[in-house]
Amino acid sequence: MTFYGEVFGSPVQLHTFADFDRTDGPADVIAHGYLREGPVALFAADVAGDDPPVRCEGMMLALLGTAAPDTLNKWFSSLSEGGRVVEELQTRRGEPLTGT
Q: Where are the domains of the chain?
A: 1-49, 59-89
Amino acid identity of residue 60, one-letter, is: M
Confidence band of 34 (pLDDT split at 50, 70, 90): very high
Angle at CA 42, nearest 5°, toward 85 and 7?
50
For 56-74, what is each residue's pLDDT tens digit? 777 777 767 678 889 988 9
User: Virtual CA dihedral for 11, 20, 31, 36, nearest 10 degrees?
Assistant: -20
Residue 56 vs residues 10, 59, 60: alpha-carbon distances, Å: 23, 6, 9
Instruction: List strand residue ranges (DSSP E) for 22-94, in order.
Output: 30-35, 43-44
Furthest-apart CA atoms within the chain: distance in Å = 51
Which pLDDT score, from 0 to 100, does residue 14 have? 97
Q: Phi first, then psi: give them for residue 90, nearest 5 degrees.
A: -155, 160
Between CA 44 and CA 97 the distance in angstroms is 30
pLDDT above 70 as % of the chain:
89
pLDDT of residue 12 exceeding 90: yes
